[in-house]
Amino acid sequence: MAVTIWHNPRCSNSRGALELLREHGIEPVVIEYLKTPPDRPTLAALITRMGIAPRELLRSKEPAYGSLGLDDAALTDAALIEAMVAHPELINRPIVETPRGARLCRPPETVLEILPA
């Protein structure tokens, strides 16, 4: 399995995680998720692999968060995933996948937990 980073080049955390990967001799597959957003099955699989709830991946400071009413605690995980698929700017980043797991790398140093041995 290749190392993949779901990346936003405008995000300092995302740039930091990418730099750490490269410092460790890893040239990952870089997916700029705002240009190439994950589909629903891919996003759901990433969330499962990270072992987090969909709400933990939401960027609550994005305008779409408020306008879509995503602060409603009654929303299902499926509804939150659909919102992120429709509005990828709501997906927190960077997400890094390696053979050892997947993590939301905030702070960027979190990537060190899943570097290939």
pLDDT in tens, 22-35: 999 999 999 999 99
Catalytic residue flag (residue 105): no
Token pair of 63, please? 């305008």
CA distance 13 to 75: 28
Tell me if the pTM is above 0.75. Answer: yes
Q: What's the pLDDT score for residue 116?
A: 85
Domains of the chain: 1-33+93-117 (3.40.30.10), 37-92 (3.40.30.10)
CA distance 37 to 107: 22
Share of the chain above pLDDT 90, in %: 97
Q: Residues 11, 44, 64, 79: which is the catalytic one?
A: 11
Average pLDDT of 89-109?
A: 98
Q: What's the pLDDT score for residue 117?
A: 76
Average pLDDT of 76-91?
A: 98
pLDDT in tens, 6-18: 999 999 999 999 9
